[in-house]
A = this chain, B = another copy of it.
Amino acid sequence: MSGNRPATSMDVARAAGVSQATVSYVLNDRPGSRISEETRARVRDAAERLGYVPHAGARTLRTGSSGLVLVALPDVPQGSLATGLLEELDRKLGGRGYTMVQYGAREVKGVAAAKAWAELRPVAVLADLARLTGAGIEVLRAAGVKAIIGMGSEGIGGIPSVLADHEGVGALAVRHLMERGRTEIVAIVPREEGIRPMGLERLRGARSAGVPVRAVDLAFDEGEAAAFVAGLSGGEGVFAYNDDYAMLLLAALHDAGLAVPGDVAVVGCDDLPLARLTRPRLTTVRPDLSEAPASIATLIDRLVRGETCGDVGIWTLQLIGRDST
């Protein structure tokens, strides 16, 4: 290594008295080359001494069983469910010899995003469906990405996706409110840009349950919640989009002196640990993501091995009945 310049494979080759190709063969453990143990040791020593680290890209040339899995998140604040899923996926992928990286630059999409991701030479890309385009997928394929997987609520042709059933959340919540005898159903649709599309899908599911559903746009704001609550006539069943909104409504109902569930029934979604602490305890739709890390890791592995795979669901849904309905 000369000066502050990082060592290159050429430096290692010079120091070990071998060709650059030999350095590459030895350090990347490529099969099928006839290099003596003595030469291998000399190359490894030189690399160690010079502080040379091979490129990540070189690793994907090996067997395909090791490599980088690039996760490109949507440009939406990640909730604790998504964060926990990624942490567990990281562990599952590590157990199979992959390394996961979460790629930033969340506004970039299409071909520009695909080119940026491809620069890291990942063996797999797991990306928000809103960031993937047909041309982008072609760029990734041409760059040797073996597993290209979408994440979202509606799949696209040509690649398998990890899908979240948001309509199912709304349908399950409203069917539960109907079972508890509510006929006036209100569904909250969050006004925040990032999560609004999911709110509209949950509303569509709520409306599939067979009763009229009044949609109410709401920001996560105590003033707006108080105004909404002031307009209730009593007897309503409210599907609050998620546990955060349900907690917002419980506080507003408490302040207005309305009883839950006596006057108004409330159901959330997510089964957040904090939402279990409300009084009355919150009824919620629990998305069970416990199988997702393993099934996503398996999907990636199968695609890397050249198999053909279909979509997988990210969760199964369950109604957890507590005291707010």
Chain A: residues with CB nearer than 8 A to chain B? 1, 4-7, 50-57, 59, 68, 77-78, 80, 83-84, 87, 90-91, 93-94, 99-107, 115-116, 118-121, 138-139, 141-144, 220, 222, 244, 247-248, 250-251, 254-255, 273-274, 276-279
* A105: contacting residue among B59, B99, B102, CB under 8 A: B99
* Copies of this chain held together in the complex: 2
A138: nearest chain-B partner, CB-CB: B51
Give Cα A196 to B84, complex, Å: 19
Ranked nearest first, the 4 interchain pairs of A and B with the lowest CB-CB distance are A51-B142, A6-B144, A100-B104, A90-B104
- Chosen A-B contacts, 27 in total, with CB atoms closer than 8 Å, are A4-B144, A5-B144, A6-B142, A6-B144, A50-B142, A51-B141, A51-B142, A52-B142, A53-B115, A53-B118, A53-B119, A55-B121, A56-B120, A57-B57, A59-B119, A68-B120, A78-B83, A90-B104, A90-B105, A91-B106, A99-B105, A101-B120, A102-B102, A120-B120, A247-B277, A250-B277, A255-B279
Nearest Cβ on chain B to A69's Cβ, whole angstroms: 8
Give Cα A205 to B110, complex, Å: 49
* A103: contacting residue among B101, B119, B244, CB under 8 A: B101
